[in-house]
Amino acid sequence: MKYIRLKNLGIIISLSLMVVFSGCVKHNFDEPPINIPHVDFDANCSIAGLKAMLGTQDMVEITADTIIEGIVTANDESGNIYKKLYIRDNTGGLEMGIDQTSLYTTYKVGQRVFIKCKGLYLGNYADVVQLGYPYNGSIGRIPAAMLSGRFFLDSLPGPAPVPDTLDLSGALGGKVSNLIALKNVRFPDAGSTFVIPGESNTNRDIADAFGNVISIGGKNLILRTSSYANFANDKMPDGVGTLIGIFSVFNGQYQVYIRDINDTKNFVDTGNKVIYQQNFDADPPDWVKFAKAGGKPWTWDATYSVMVANGYQGTAPCETWLVSPAIDLTGISNPILTFKTWTKFTDSGLANPLDVYISTNYSGSGDPTTADWTTLQCALSPANSGIWTSSGDVSLATFNQPVYIAYRYRSSGVTSGTASKWEVDTFKVTGKKNQ
Amino acid sequence: MKKFTLFILILLAFSSVAVAQQGRLMGKVTEMTTDAPVPNATVTISPLSLSIVTTDDGFFEFKNVPFGKYTLSVSSAIFEPFSIQIAIDRPEVKMEPVHIKRKTADTEAHEDISTITLDLEDENKDQSVSGLLRASEDIFVSTAGYTFGSMFFRARGYDSENSSVMINGYDASDAENGRVVWSNWGGLNDAMRNKEVYYGLNPENFSFSSIGGSTYINTRASQYRKQLKVSYALTNRTYTNRLMVTYSSGQLPHGWAITVSGSRRWAEQSYIKGTFYDAWSYFASLEKKFGKNHSLNLTVYGAPTQRGQQSATVQEVYDLTGTNYYNPNWGYQNGEKRNAKVKNFHEPVFLLNHFWDISEKIKLSTAVGYTFGKDKWSALNWYNAADPRPDYYRYLPSYQTDPVIRQLITQQWQNESTVNQIDWNKLYQINYLSNLEGKQSRYIIENNVTQTDQFYFNSHVNADINDHVTVSGGLNFRLYKAGHYKEMSDLLGGNYWVDIDQFAERDFPGDSTIVQNDLNNPNRVIKVGDKFGYNYDAHINTLNLWAQGQFTYNKFDFYIAGSLTGTEFWRTGNMRNGRHPNSSYGDSPKYDFLNFGVRGGFTYKFSGRHYANINGLYLTRAPYFTNSFISARVRNDIVPDLSSEKIFGGDISYTIRYPWLFARVTYYYTRFLNQTEINSFYHDDYRTYVNYILRGVDKQHQGIELGVEVKATKFMSVYGVASIGDYIYTNRPTGTISFDNGSRPDTTGTVYLKNFYVPTTPQTALSAGLKFNYKYWFFDVNGNFYDNGWLDFNPERRTQLAIKGLGPEDPLIKTITEQQELKGGFTLDASLGKSFRIKSKVYLNVNFSVTNILNNTNIQSGGFEQNRFDFDTKDISKFPPKYYYYYGRTFYLNIGIRI
C-alpha cells in the first residue's frame, strides 16, 4: 500500500511540476533598442517659402502637400518657452505652437524634423508668422493629436545649431523666430532677477556695452522671461557678453527669449557688483527731497520715470536737494557711481545749476545744508541740450563708510531764461566687495 | 474542553407533545479528527430499516421511533462504517455527536473509533442549547462571504479593521491600520480550511474581538485528516491556473503529525487586460505531542506574489474603448503587455504554539509569532516630461473644444495602442535621448515599499468552572516596526535619477533647499535599488488583556467580556525633508493610549428550535498609526486633537432552526464616534501622496439581516438572504488636505457630510437560490441583487470654499455637493459539482461554476470621485469620478484528486 501511495505521489508531483513550470509568467521585459528615426521623403518647401504663403492674410490653411525640413533651435526645456517649438533652415526660423508640454523630451535642440504641413494653418500673431491650428478664430496651437502623421524626426539629435549674429542696423523682419546672437551687450538691471517676483513675465532692457539701452524704431529691445523658467529667480549677469536666444517681435516691439541660463553664460563679469541702484521706476520714498528755497522740490515724473527739478515759476530763486539714502561703502574697493542727467532751457544767471555732492555726516533726513558736502566731479548734460548724458565712472574710492549722495539744483530766478530743467535717472553705485 | 465540545455540538430540544410509546432520536455525525460535520452519511436504525441521510450540517433526526433497543449504523462511501447500540426509552432522545473516521489506507485498529454514548445522565442537559450557531452554517454568513464578497460587500458596512482573523492565536491584522491581509495566505485554501467564524457580536473564547466578529483558523497538524490532495483550477477571474497540493500525515507514531501544502496561481492575463498573476504559496505545520497534556506545533506559511494591478478610470474612457473593464495601467513593450502597477509581496509567518491541557477542564494555548517581509507596489514616475498615462484627462476627447480634433482623438483612442495604452517604447526612447545629453531618466518605475518586522505573543486560557460557567482570558502583545520608503525599480533605459521633488522645484524655482527629499544627502543620484523619495519607520507596540465569562443554563445563556489595551506608537524619520526640515528627521514623540472595551450578550431559548439573542458592545480604540500622522511619509506632525475613537452598538436576533428550516433575522445598530480617516493616496496628477484627513467623524450603521433556508425535499433546498443596511455619516467632520510635496499649502475646514452614505459597499444586497444534492451531484443556482451603493466622495467638494460665490438658489450647489449612487444590478450564478469514487481510496471531485451568467456588465462595484476640484469653473465634469465594474460572466472549473 505504501508503495502505491509513493508511486501516486511521484506521478502527481511530477505532473504538477510540469504544469507549474510550463506556466511561467514573464515579467522581466527586454529593453527596447534605441530607435534611430529615418525619413524617406524630402522637403519641398523652405521655411521662408512656407511663411510667405500667408501673404497679408491673418490666417490661412495649408491645403497643398507642403513639406518643410528644419533643425530644432529652441524648445520648452527650461520652462521659459511654453508649448512652442522653434525650427530653422537656411532661409529662416519658424515658430510653432503645439498643445503639449515637455516637447523637449522628443524635440531636442539640434533634432532634424520634417513636417507635412497639409491641414495645419499659418497665422500672424502680433507680427509673428507661426505654424499652428485655429483657436477661437485666430491662429492657435497644433493639437498634440495632429502631430502623428505630420511631424517626423530624422536621425538622432545633431550638434546644437549655431546662432546667427544679429546686426541691429540691418533688416530685422527676416530674423524673427530665428536663433540669434547679440554681441557686446549688457543688462542695465544686472544683479536683479530675470523675473521680478510676483510677475508672470518680466521685460528687461538690453543695453550696449556702454550701458545705452537698445531701442529699435522707438521701442526698447527687451529680454522677456517667464516666471516658469527654471532660471527666473537667477540674477542677470553683470558685464558685457553675447546674448543668445530666439528673436521675436510683439506688435512691433522686438524681443529676445533665452532658452536657458547658458544663453547668457558668456558674459564677462568685471567683478563689480551693484552696491546700490535706483532706476526711479517709482517715486523713491527713501530719498530726501528738500526744498531749501523757492518751494520747488525734486519730483518724480511718472511718464518718464525720472527725477525732475525745475525752478520755473517758483516762489523765489531755487535751492532744492535730492539726497540718496545711506549707501554703505564699507569694505568696497573701487566703488563707482554712475547716473544719467538731462537738461533743457537755460539759466542765464548760473553756469552750473546742478551740483553733485557726497557727505559722510548727513543725518539721513531734514535740511542737508547743515552737513558737510564734497563736490563730485562728473559729466553732466550740456546746457539746454536735451541729451541724456552718462555721468561717466565717478570714483568714490576714498570713501570706506556709509555715504549720502546729493543733487543740489539751483536757479537764479523763476522765469524763462533764469531757470533750467534737470532730470536724473539710472542712479547706480557699483564696486567690488572685498573678501 | 468540554465546553468546546458543547460549542460544536448542536443539542436539539424537545418539541411540544410526546407521542406515547414513541420517541424521537436526534444526533449529529462529525468527522473524528476535525469535528467537521459529515453530510450525506446514511444513518440506519436496525431492525426497523429506518434510514435517513444527514443534512449538510451533519444532522439527522428520526421521528416516531417505537420505544426499544436498536442498532444505529452510519455508512458513507468515504468513511469507515460504524454502529452502536441505542435505546429509545423517552419521548426525545438526544445523542452526543457521532464521530466517524474517514477511510484511509492507513486506518489502524478500530479502537480509535469513538463510541456513541447515549445521553441519559441528565435530562436537563437536553435543553442546553449552547453553540447556537456555527456561523459558517448560517446561510446568511456563507452567502455574505462567498456570493456578496465579489461585490466588495462589507457585512454591516464595517471597515475591515472591525473584524479579526487569528491563526492559531496569531493576530493576522496589519498593526498600522488593523486590516486583515488575506492575501498573505492566498492559495493555501486547503491548509487554512479548519476555521471557525464568529459573526457579529456572538461570543468567542480566544480573544476580545471588535464589533465585526472574528475568524479562528486552526493550523495544528494533528487536526488535518490524513490525505494527499491535488487540485487544479482553471478560471478567467483574477488568475487562469491554480495548482494546489496538500499532504497531511494524520497522527503519526510518537505523537508527530505533519501537514504541508503549496500552490501556484498564475495567469498571463486575468479578466482585466494587462493584469498578470504570479503567485506561489507554501505552508508547513509540524506537531509533536508530549505526553497527554502537552503539544507543540510549528507553522510556517507565506505566499510570494506578483500581480499586475487594475486601476479605475472615468466613464468616458470605458465608453471610448467599448468596455467597462478597460485598464489604463499597461501598454506594449516590444509587443508584450507590461503593467506599470505591480504588487509584489512576500511576508512569511513563523508561528510556534504550545497547547497545554492543564486539567480536564483547563486549557492553556500560547502562540509566539514572527513575521517579516516586504510589500511593494510599483508606479510610474516622471520628471519634467509629459504624463505617460493614457487616460490623463487632457488626452481625452472631452478636453477638446474643436469637434474635428475631438473626432480625431476619438479615432486614435479607438485604433492606436500607443494612444489608448501606455507607450513604453516611447518612454524608453525619451530616456535614451536624455542619456545622449548626459541627463537623468525622464520616466522611471518606482516601488513603494513596506518592510515589516513583527513579533507577536498571545496566551489564553479556557476553564470550565462547572456545567454552567466557563471563563476564559488572555494576554497578547505585539512589537511592530515597519520601514516605508520608495525604491528605484527600473530606470527604463535611463542612467540615473536625482532625489529632488520636481513640484517643489517648480513652485520654488532657485530654492535648492526646499526641493530636497533628503537634506542630509542633497541631490543624491539614484540608481536601481536605491531608496529615495521618503523613508520612515513606523513603530507600534500594543499590550492587550482580556477576560470573559460564559454562562449556560437551560433556558438562557449569557456572556460578558472585558478588555484593556495599551498602545504606544511613534515615527522615526530617516530623511530630512526639504519642505519640513525641522519636523521630518528622527523620532517623533511617543503617543500612548489606554483603551478598554466591554461586551456582553444574552440568549433566551424558547425551545431548542427558537432562540432570541441580544448582544451589546462598547469600546474605545486608539487611533491607528495610519490615521495619526498628517503625512507620515514626510513629517512627524500628527493630526490635531488626536484621540481614541469610540464604538458602541448591539444586535438583536431571532433564530429558528429545524432540520428542514433555518431562519435568522437580526437588527443591528452601531455608532462609530470621533473617528479619524486619512485617505492617503497617490495622486497621479501631482505625482505625490495627498492626505485627506477627516477628524471627528461620526457614523451610524444600522440594518436588518435575514437568512432563510428551507429543505423542501430530501434533495433540494431553497434559500434566501437579505442584508438591508443604512450606513451614514451623522456629523460634519473637520477636513484637512495636505500635500506631501508642499505643492499646495495645508487647508482645514468643515466638511458638510451629515447624512452622507458610507461609500462603496452595497447597502442593499439580496440573494435567493436553490440547492440540489443527489447521489454526489451538487447543483446550486442563485440570483443576487445589489443596490444602494454610494460613490466615495471628495471631501473638498463638501466645503464652504467649493460653493463660495454661488447664490443660495444656484442649482450648481446641489450638483457639486450631492453624493452619487452607484449602479446596482442583478446577477445570476450557478455551480455544478460531482464527487466520483475512482477506486477504493481515490476520489475525484469536479466543480464548475459560472458567475454572472447574464453577463451584466453595468454593475458598479465601487468608485470614487477624483480628489480634484476646479474651484474656478466649479465644473465637476472636468475631473469626473472613476469606477470599478463587477466582472461580467466568469467561470471557475476545479478538479481535485484526493487519496
What are A103-145's pLDDT values in tens digits? Answer: 999 999 999 999 999 999 999 999 999 999 999 899 999 999 9
Whether A278-433 and A47-154 are alike in CATH topology: the answer is: no
Q: Mean of the pLDDT values across residues A168-178?
A: 90
Q: Of B236, B232, B235, whose CA–CA distance to B244 is shortest?
A: B232
* Nearest-Cα residue of chain A relative to residue B268: A25
Regarding whether B580 and B485 lie in a shared domain, the answer is: yes
For residue A188, whether the previous peptide bond is cis, meaning omega lies within 30 degrees of 0, is no
- Which residues in chain A touch residue B267, judged by CB atoms under 8 angstroms apart? 25
* Nearest-Cα residue of chain A relative to residue B385: A102
User: B404-413: long-range contacts (C-beta < 8 A, 24 or more apart)?
Assistant: B405/A133, B405/A143, B405/A145, B405/A146, B408/A143, B408/A145, B408/A146, B409/A143, B409/A145, B410/B320, B412/A145, B412/A148, B413/B320, B413/B321
Q: Does B430 touch chain A (CB under 8 A)?
A: yes
Neighbouring residues of B189: CB distance < 8 A, sequence distance ≥ 6: B244, B263
* pLDDT over 60 (residue A6): no
The upper half-sphere exposure of residue B106, i.e. CA atoms within 13 Å in the direction of its Cβ, equals 15
Regarding whether B114 and B208 lie in a shared domain, the answer is: no
Neighbours of B182 (CB within 10 A): 13
- Which residues in chain A touch residue B434, judged by CB atoms under 8 angstroms apart? 105
B272 torsion bin: left (phi>0), alpha (psi -120 to 50), beta (else) = beta
- The C-alpha atoms of residue A194 and residue A315 are separated, in whole angstroms, by 45
Contact state of B428 with A77 under an 8 Å Cβ cutoff: no
> Could you write out the DSSP letters of every residue in A174-223?
GGTTSEEEEEEEE-TTTTSBSS-TT-SEEEEE-EETTSPBPEETTEE-EE
Structural domain contains residue B341: yes
Burial class (CB in 10 A: 0-12, 13-18, 19+), B836: exposed
Question: Does domain A164-269 fall into CATH 3.30.390?
Answer: no
Structural domain contains residue B250: yes
Q: Does B661 touch chain A (CB under 8 A)?
A: no
pLDDT, one tens digit per residue, over A53-110 is: 999 999 999 999 999 999 999 999 999 999 999 999 999 999 999 999 999 999 999 9
Q: In degrees rounded to 5, what are phi and psi of residue A240?
A: -115, 140
Pairing of strands B313-314, B336-339: unpaired
What Rg, from alpha-carbon coordinates, does chain B have? 30
Contact state of A23 with B277 under an 8 Å Cβ cutoff: no
Q: What pairs with residue B372 in β-bridges? A: B453
Burial class (CB in 10 A: 0-12, 13-18, 19+), A192: middle
- Which residues in chain B touch residue A145, judged by CB atoms under 8 angstroms apart? 405, 408-409, 412
Contact state of A145 with B405 under an 8 Å Cβ cutoff: yes
Q: Does B400 touch chain A (CB under 8 A)?
A: yes
- The C-alpha atoms of residue B717 and residue B714 are separated, in whole angstroms, by 8
Interface of B with A in 289-308 (CB under 8 A): 306
Regarding whether B618 and B562 lie in a shared domain, the answer is: yes
Regarding whether B680 and B669 lie in a shared domain, the answer is: yes
Regarding whether B626 and B489 lie in a shared domain, the answer is: yes
* The three grid cell numbers given for residue B438, joined into one nine-digit string: 548626459
- The C-alpha atoms of residue A360 and residue A378 are separated, in whole angstroms, by 19
* The three grid cell numbers given for residue B531, joined into one nine-digit string: 531608496
Neighbours of B872 (CB within 10 A): 8
Regarding whether B22 and B171 lie in a shared domain, the answer is: no
**Domain boundaries, given as residue ranges, for chain A:** 47-154, 164-269, 278-433
Q: Does A416 touch chain B (CB under 8 A)?
A: no
Position A93 scores a pLDDT of 96
Q: Of B756, B839, B831, whose CA–CA distance to B793 is shortest?
A: B756
* The three grid cell numbers given for residue B335, joined into one nine-digit string: 509587443
- Which residues in chain B touch residue A259, judged by CB atoms under 8 angstroms apart? none
Q: Block means of pLDDT (10 residues each) for chain B, length 899 residues? A: 37 33 82 75 77 81 80 75 77 79 42 23 26 52 79 87 91 91 87 84 87 90 90 91 92 92 92 92 95 94 94 95 95 93 95 94 95 95 92 92 93 94 96 95 96 97 91 96 97 95 76 90 95 97 96 90 97 94 94 96 88 95 94 91 94 90 95 90 69 93 96 91 96 89 80 92 95 88 95 90 87 91 95 87 90 95 86 86 93 91
Q: Mean of the pLDDT values across residues A188-194?
A: 90
Regarding whether B230 and B215 lie in a shared domain, the answer is: no
The residue type found at B486 is K
- The C-alpha atoms of residue B71 and residue A132 are separated, in whole angstroms, by 97
Question: Does domain A278-433 fall into CATH 2.60.120.200?
Answer: yes
The Cα of B481 is separated from the nearest Cα of chain A by a number of Å equal to: 30
Contact state of A27 with B278 under an 8 Å Cβ cutoff: yes
Regarding whether B248 and B272 lie in a shared domain, the answer is: yes
CA distances from B378 to A117, B308, B341, B500 (A): 41, 9, 5, 19
Regarding whether B171 and B107 lie in a shared domain, the answer is: no
For residues A291 and A320, the answer to whether their CB atoms sit within 8 Å is: yes
Contact state of B243 with A143 under an 8 Å Cβ cutoff: no
Residue from the list B400, B442, B509 with its beta carbon closest to the beta carbon of A143: B400
Final residue before a domain boundary, out of B75, B99, B125: B125
Q: Does A32 touch chain B (CB under 8 A)?
A: yes
Position B476 scores a pLDDT of 96
Regarding whether B212 and B320 lie in a shared domain, the answer is: no
User: Cα dihedral angle (A390, A391, A395, A399), rounded to 10 degrees?
Assistant: -120
A47-154 fold: OB fold (Dihydrolipoamide Acetyltransferase, E2P) (2.40.50)
Could you tell me the residue range of the domain that residue B355 belongs to? 223-898
Regarding whether B735 and B681 lie in a shared domain, the answer is: yes
For residues A405 and A318, the answer to whether their CB atoms sit within 8 Å is: no
Q: Of A401, A390, A397, whose CA–CA distance to A425 is shortest?
A: A390
Residue from the list A29, A134, A157 with its beta carbon closest to the beta carbon of B336: A29
The residue type found at B387 is D
pLDDT band at A7 (very low <50, low <70, confident <90, very high): low
Interface of A with B in 263-302 (CB under 8 A): none
Q: Of A3, A5, A16, whose CA–CA distance to B226 is shortest?
A: A5
Position B180 scores a pLDDT of 85
Q: Does B425 touch chain A (CB under 8 A)?
A: yes
Final residue before a domain boundary, out of B125, B152, B179: B125
* Nearest-Cα residue of chain A relative to residue B511: A233
For residues A2 and B893, the answer to whether their CB atoms sit within 8 Å is: no
Give the residue ranges of DSSP H helices in B572-657. none
- The C-alpha atoms of residue A9 and residue A18 are separated, in whole angstroms, by 14
Q: Of B419, B430, B726, whose CA–CA distance to A157 is shortest?
A: B430
Q: Does B433 touch chain A (CB under 8 A)?
A: yes
Residue from the list A26, A27, A105 with its beta carbon closest to the beta carbon of B442: A105
* Test the B interface: residue of A25, A147, A200 with most B CBs within 10 Å: A25
Final residue before a domain boundary, out of B155, B187, B222: B222
Regarding whether B250 and B214 lie in a shared domain, the answer is: no
- The C-alpha atoms of residue A367 and residue B575 are separated, in whole angstroms, by 59
Q: What pairs with residue B50 in β-bridges? A: B45
Structural domain contains residue B478: yes
**ipTM confidence score:** 0.77
Q: How many domains does chain B have?
A: 3
The Cα of B435 is separated from the nearest Cα of chain A by a number of Å equal to: 11
